[in-house]
Amino acid sequence: MRETFLPFAKPDVAEDAVAAVAQCMRSGWLTTGPRTIEFEDIFKNYTGAKYSVSFNSATAGLHGAFAALGLKEGDEVITTPMTFAATINTVIFAGAKPVLADIDPKTLNIIPAEIEKKINSKTKAIAPVHFAGRPCDMAAIEAIAEKHGLWIIEDSAHALGAAAGARKIGKPGAKRAAVFSFHPTKNITTGEGGMVCTDDENMAEFLSVFRQHGMSKGAWNRYAAKGKTHYDILLPGLKYNMMDIQAVIGISQMKRLEAFNARRAQVVAKYMEVFKDTEGLILPPPVKAGDAHSWHIFTPLIDTDKLKITRDEFMKLMGGRNIGTALHYQAVHLFSYYQKTYGWKPGDFPSAEYVSSRIVSLPLFPAMTEKDISDTVEAVKEILKENKR
């Protein structure tokens, strides 16, 4: 058994980022400032979006994107049951009702035909989630949105570096926004942080104001020598801005993104090869031709029909061998608040429930060694073999 614990994810922060943070702290400028603007420009250039607006989390960015649509009570946003609660909660905080459409149990992404079934006169937007970094069927979703005049807010928290055909995720197009996460487990990190990419100038202007208490644009530097002392409140915003301390970490991380993602893909390729004939494990399918997967997480399903243990028991046994795992995610319609509020119940979204009871995230991060990979493989294979029906 492995002697030290292997986490399922681990950030890799270079020394230049450490030095840049120290420089920020010594400069006396810690909050939103020139380095945040620099990070936004780098991110915008990478994705190809016209505008990139930073936030202190992807959750804040999602809230801002939905709020920018002017949603009101009775409006609906269609999304997936296989996502983190933030996707649902931000729709609610923006004043609308989340509506769920079931997933493909293989790709784990929302099914476009299921979206179409849920559209009515109250529908204002579609919020696809690129699960694990695998792009949704955006051509089909875009066609549906255009047909019905709907916005698309892409929850791209997992998908930095992914692409749907020739379009890099984050290059939104008309009536579109994409929201990224920089949590420590993501493909790059700023400690905590998020970014909204859009080609819509009005949305970008709204987001810039919304994230800073609703203060008029430019008020962020009111304490600088040439800053504006007076400002206006243009709308009821919140305190959602990114700090320069976070941004300089992001600037460093963006230099390494392609290498990070390449290593993630290498680790996944090894997993796929060694696990291809492993009974008790259902592997993710190949990526659609022409698409690019960012491999934020590696999420096989534990085939409990062929085992004497549950997925949760599998995770506990992995922990006992010092191998970390994680659960992404319990289907949101199974949480008590949403059931009480929206009447969702078990059986409503069978594919999401099937996946939710079997999915597990195995260790995946750029700094994984060959021993880390082999230790993980050995533990998985031993547990599955020992617990065959």
Q: How far apart are CA 308 and CA 150, in angstroms?
A: 46
CATH code reported for the domain at 257-386: 3.90.1150.10
pLDDT in tens, the chain (389 residues): 899 999 999 999 999 999 999 999 999 889 999 999 999 999 999 999 999 999 999 999 999 999 999 999 999 999 999 999 999 999 999 999 999 999 999 999 999 999 999 999 999 999 999 999 999 999 999 999 999 999 999 999 999 999 999 999 999 889 999 999 999 999 999 999 999 999 999 999 999 999 999 998 765 565 565 666 678 999 999 999 999 999 999 999 999 999 999 999 999 999 999 999 999 999 999 999 999 999 999 999 999 999 999 999 999 999 999 999 999 999 999 999 999 999 999 999 999 999 999 999 999 999 999 999 999 999 999 999 999 99
In the chain, where the domains are located? 15-253, 257-386
The dihedrals phi and psi of 202, each to the nearest 5 degrees, come to -65, -40
pLDDT of residue 297: 98
Give me 233's structure tokens: 């409140």
Question: CA 87 to CA 58: how far, in whole Å?
Answer: 9
pLDDT in the model for residue 29? 87
Phi then psi for 102, rounded to 5 degrees?
-70, 170
Question: In Å, what is the CA distance from 67 to each residue of 64, 91, 207?
Answer: 5, 8, 9
Task: Report the C-alpha gap between 157 and 180 in whole angstroms.
Answer: 4
pLDDT of residue 329: 97
pLDDT value for 219: 59
Structure pTM? 0.96
| Spacing of C-alpha 258 from chain mean position | 17
- Please tell me the predicted confidence (pLDDT) of residue 227: 62
- CATH of 15-253, picked from 3.40.630.10, 3.40.50.20, 3.40.640.10, 3.40.630.40, is 3.40.640.10
Q: Is 340 a catalytic residue?
A: no
Helix (H) or strand (E) segment spanning residue 180: strand 176-181
Instruction: Please give the pLDDT value at position 63.
Output: 98
Tokens describing residue 327: 């659960």
CB-CB contact of 360 with 314 (8 Å)? yes
Residue with tokens 């959602």: 240
Catalytic residue among 44, 168, 171, 186: 186
What is the spatial distance between Cα 123 and Cα 174, in angstroms, rounded to a whole number? 18
Q: For residue 197, report the phi and psi dihedrals to the nearest 5 degrees.
A: -105, 135
Amino acid identity, position 73 = E
